[in-house]
Amino acid sequence: MNIDPKYKSILLEALEDMMYKLSMQLEPHKGKPLTGERKQLTVKQNAVEELQHLVSNSIE
C-alpha cells in the first residue's frame, strides 16, 4: 500500500481515535456474554487494528 507521507500521520491519528471510540463502546460489554453488538464492535476493532498495521508499514 502506498500512502503519501503527508497523509500517513493524519490517517494513523484518525485510526487511533476510532480505536479509542470502539474501546469505549466495548467497555460495558466486558465480562458479559457475546452479544450481536459486542461481536460487531469486536470485528470492527480488529479491522481497524489491521488497517493501522497496513498504514504504519506502508511504503512512502
Count of structural domains, the chain: 1
Judge whether residue 12 has pLDDT over 80: yes
Count of Cβ atoms closer than 10 Å to residue 3 Cβ = 16
Question: What digits encode the pLDDT tens for the residues 16-38?
Answer: 999 999 999 999 999 999 999 99
C-alpha cell read off for 29:
460489554
Global confidence as pTM: 0.85
Domain that holds residue 52: 5-56
Cell 498495521 belongs to 53
Contact 4, 23 (CB under 8 A): no
- Least reliable range by pLDDT among 9-13, 16-20, 56-60: 56-60
pLDDT at 60: 61
- Portion of the chain with pLDDT greater than 90, in percent: 82
Contact 57, 3 (CB under 8 A): no
